[in-house]
Every structure is written in C-alpha cells, then in structure tokens.
Amino acid sequence: MVTVPPERFTDRVAVVTGSTRGIGAGVAKRLAGEGASVVVTGRTREAGESTVDDIRDEGGEAVFVRADMREPDDIAALFEATVETYGGLDVLVNNAGVETNTGVAEATMDDWEFVVETDFRSFWLCAKEAAARMDEGAIVNTSSNHAFLTMPGMFPYNAVKSGINGMTRAMALDLGPRIRVNTVNPGWVAIERTLSEMSDAERREIESIHPVGRLGKPEDVASAVAFLASEEAGFVTGANLLVDGGRSAVMQDGTLPDYRARRQGRSESGRSSRAGAAPADEPDGEGRE
C-alpha cells in the first residue's frame, strides 16, 4: 500500500500529455491526489473525460483538453487553454507515446514519422510552450528502459527513447535553474494494452525475470514522477530514473534470435554465390571462424 505524502502540489497546475489511460492516467490521478489542478490531454475525448471524472470523484480538480501531439497547433492551444483555465503552469509531464513493433529493415517513413513526431518532437514542443509560461517549475519526460537495453523489432521506438534521455539533459542545461527537467524510465507496466497482448503463462514468465517478482503498475511510475516533479527533488535535474523492477539489472537473452545460425546461414549463402572463386576447403574470409 503506497502512502501518498501530504499535498505536495497544492496550488500547482500540471499538464500530463497522453493521460487518457494507462501510465499517463495514473500520473494525472496521483498529481491531483496531491493537490494539483491537472489538465488531462490526449486524442480520445471519451477516455479523457473518464479520467477527469475519476479525479473529481476523489475530490481532485481536473479538466480535459483534446490535443493531438503530432499537431503543433494543438500543442500551442493546449497550453493556452491551461493558462486560461488555471492562471499558470508549474509542472509538465511529457508522457504521450506510441510504438510500431517494427525492425530497422522493415520500418517505413510513416512508422518513423508516427513515432518520432508523437514520442519525441512533441516533448520538445510541449517543453517550449511550457517554459514560456512557467516562472519556476519542473518537467518530467517519460522514456523507457529501452533507452538503455532493448530487443529486436522495436525500432524506431527504442531509438526515440534513447533520444529522450539526451533531450532531458539538454533541457536541464538550457532551462535551469528556473526549470528542472528529469526523465522517468519505466519497464514492463501492467496496463490494459500490455496485458491483452500476453497469455497468463507469458505473464508469469515475465514476472519471474523481474527481481521484484511482479510487473509494474501505473501507480509505481506515478510515484516516481511525483517525486521528480516535487520540491523533494529540488537538487535533481538532468537525471534518468529507472522504474522497471530491476529488469535492467538482469542479463536475459530469451528475446534474441539465434545470431550464430544467422552467421552460418550468411556464410553458406556467400559460398554458394561465389562457387569456383575459392576451393571449398579454403576460407574466403566470409566464413572464417
């Protein structure tokens, strides 16, 4: 049971992008539970209004502003609406994110633009809009443990998440000391989309490779975000905080293809295509062990 600290965000205003469901909704609810007036935003009005209703049912304050993070005009309007509604801005949580489950070779320009514009460019544009309206404050960028370790078929998501870590450092230098900027890097989190993609057996296996023995919850990430956004982290900026149940401390190769078999297959292909170029019992460089 997580004990929520006294209202660290009383009289503070927070924008949480991608907060209609999942981790973002958990963050919005946590900040509102600690006293913040929260702007919930995303592309789906019904889901956003549901998150607002949940916050208000618990006695919190929130509004929904629809915005597509791929549209710069929507982003500018989001922050204008925030100041019009609440009179200022103190916290930005850049959380909007998508992925395509494609590899380097099969990813298309559409895949690239979809992920980069949503997960990366919007973080920069939101930070610019927020900084122009903040006297002092904090920005928390949501990245992933894929920024440190990754798996096949996650491009360009994994590249963008690494980029977010670098963006955070740049923002911390350029916006400090007025605004602190940090990154939270979640791992496996039990949200509806993630759970729908795995069987019970797969979930048990994934839980077993986490040192904490379970998947994360949106509340786990929300606790880390709330800390980084609060004055308790007043001497923390430009940092990356892993929230992945120790997963990144584990060396586990079950998700990888058999690279040795790939190497052997490439060697055999190379020999057959150059038949007669060298005797079969002489190494030609390609197949040398």
Q: Which residues are catalytic?
A: 157
Continuous H helices in 58-145: 72-86, 109-116, 122-131
Token pair 């509102």 in the structure block, residue: 32
3-state helix, strand, coil in the chain (%, to 5): 45, 15, 40
Look up residue 33 and give its two tokens. 């539970």
Order across the sheet with 179-186: list the strands: 61-66, 37-42, 13-16, 91-94, 137-142, 179-186, 240-243
**225 contacts 29 by C-beta, under 8 angstroms:** no
CB atoms within 10 A of CB 162: 16
Continuous H helices in the chain: 22-33, 45-57, 72-86, 109-116, 122-131, 157-175, 192-196, 200-208, 218-229, 259-273
User: What's the CA gap between 2 and 54, in Å, rounded?
Assistant: 19
Q: Phi-psi bin for 246: left (phi > 0), alpha (psi -120 to 50), beta?
A: left
The strand pairing partners of 142, in sequence order, are: 184
| Closest by Cα among 151, 141, 152, 145 to 182 | 141
